[in-house]
Structure 1
């Protein structure tokens, strides 16, 4: 989902995107690096020192952006989800969470609302297409794991919303930057044309590369006996 978010910011200038496709080669492009490898901004301070575990997506304790439960969802699986813009509150049945900015509530990828899609598979009557009687099997109680997922999802979406300006600026830089053509790469040498040895796998694949299970070894031993 993180990488796919780049396309969301590109929609506003999609009419200007024409072949050849562009990709930045600048290693100092932080917005792209954060999305590509899933790193989390350090919020200006060391995450661990601020009470956040290294690599955690959560905001540091006391950060006003931190999503909290305002009311528990309890055990009953909710039938509906609604958003209250005035208080930036997300309601799932009897439960509620906040603060949830409107941009987080409306966040979409390819016109698909992320929060609505997430809840659609988990609500009392899921939105998924029924293809067999197995689709009628659904959670009778709201698992605590889903509550944890919701907080994590809201946090990730807010992180992406905060990265939107940097993504837009990066896109403008990419569109305005000169292109490195195939001719330039050939003239530089070492890149094009691709050497024959570079087209070959670094190591050959044999059965020795795969571990056999104990059952397979046992069956083999039985056959040999």
Structure 2
């Protein structure tokens, strides 16, 4: 369950960042993002984790980062830098397997550290990619821009990648096989009587810290889920039919993963360029008074002021 302060700051502008800060990340993206209120295990379905909203208030007027950080970035980059820009930069740099692979040794100590470029061109390149990442992770509900084909709807995400339900799922599977039935030549994924295409093999294999995303999504929608921990009697309540909403949700999931996969090569090249170029170091941030962060910025707000929680 999400903590109350996360509910207090919910709004149509809010974006929540999730990370695994208690265990080493195995593979996949180092951070994930959502416009919905995440629970304790949002990052990969187990092991807890941290949640950091973008805004300290529901109206989206008070960012969850210090003014000193934003001012220092503006000074170094010579650009106008906003809190949503910083989040888009973070998404571009960290939300792909290339980051996790490159910093595998560093990630033995849980917690994501973000290299910050001092190059304004690379910063702008990161924003372009990061806006796409955030739009995908939030299923088209955030960072929308009709001019850039980022319309505000889940259906827009589905339509962009052209994945369709070729045959309906007529009944809910009782239990999911360990390996999904997939036709590689036709790029068709079968779910019971249903068929979905075109689906890349990489989409089916996509993992977040060792957890197979597509398999787990389908497994949770069977009448007898495999390998699911029973935490309460509520876990005994399972779906009994495959609904039209399930079909749309599954198409959206396949589309989001497809979009993320297409961005990964760009993200990896960008990370290489950032790491070999000029960086803003921890020493720079200390000298500028950005670090250490004020203690008040790391504490939960009083429940009455609709302020904001920096960590779950």
Same-fold status (TM-score > 0.5): yes
Q: How big is the shift at 1:182?
A: 4.3
Tell whether 2:202 aligns with 1:110: no
Q: 2:167 maps to which residue? A: 71
Q: How big is the shift at 1:194?
A: 6.6
Taking the aligned partners of 1:103 and 1:207, their CA distance within structure 2 comes to 44
Give per-residue Cα distances to partners, 1:169-206, cap 9 Å, x unaligned.
Answer: 1221232123323443455x5x44679xx6657xxx77
Asked whether the equivalents of residues 22 and 175 of structure 1 are also in contact (C-alpha less than 8 Å), the reply is no
Give per-residue Cα distances to partners, 1:14-67, cap 9 Å, x unaligned.
Answer: 35758994423424312234325658799xx7538xxxx44532334xxxx401
Taking the aligned partners of 1:152 and 1:117, their CA distance within structure 2 comes to 15
**TM-score normalised to structure 2 length:** 0.51
Q: 1:142 maps to which residue? A: 242
Asked whether the equivalents of residues 47 and 54 of structure 1 are also in contact (C-alpha less than 8 Å), the reply is no
Asked whether the equivalents of residues 181 and 190 of structure 2 are also in contact (C-alpha less than 8 Å), the reply is yes
Q: What SS class does the counterpart of residue 141 from structure 1 fall into?
A: coil
**Residues 199/148 of structure 1: CA separation in 2 closer, same or farther (3 Å cut):** same
Tell whether 2:120 aligns with 1:31: no
Please show how residues 1-225 of structure 1 align to structure 2 within 5 Å. 3-4=31-32, 6-15=95-104, 21-25=113-117, 26-29=123-126, 30-36=128-134, 38=137, 46-47=148-149, 53-54=151-152, 56-60=156-160, 65-74=161-170, 76-79=171-174, 80=176, 81-127=180-226, 128-185=228-285, 189=288, 191-192=289-290, 209=305
Q: What SS class does the counterpart of residue 157 from structure 2 fall into?
A: coil
Give per-residue Cα distances to partners, 1:126-158, cap 9 Å, x unaligned.
Answer: 122234554333222112211111000000000
**Residues 170/126 of structure 1: CA separation in 2 closer, same or farther (3 Å cut):** same
Q: Is the deviation greater in 16-25 or in 113-122?
A: 16-25
**Residues 139/169 of structure 1: CA separation in 2 closer, same or farther (3 Å cut):** same
Q: Is the deviation greater in 84-93 or in 28-37?
A: 28-37
Q: Is the deviation greater in 80-89 or in 133-142?
A: 133-142
**Residues 169/126 of structure 1: CA separation in 2 closer, same or farther (3 Å cut):** same
Any unmatched runs of 5+ in structure 1? 211-225
Asked whether the equivalents of residues 116 and 279 of structure 2 are also in contact (C-alpha less than 8 Å), the reply is no
Q: How big is the shift at 1:207?
A: 7.6
Q: What SS class does the counterpart of residue 59 from structure 1 fall into?
A: helix
Q: 1:222 maps to which residue? A: none
**Residues 105/206 of structure 1: CA separation in 2 closer, same or farther (3 Å cut):** closer
Taking the aligned partners of 2:285 and 2:195, their CA distance within structure 1 comes to 55
**TM-score normalised to structure 1 length:** 0.68
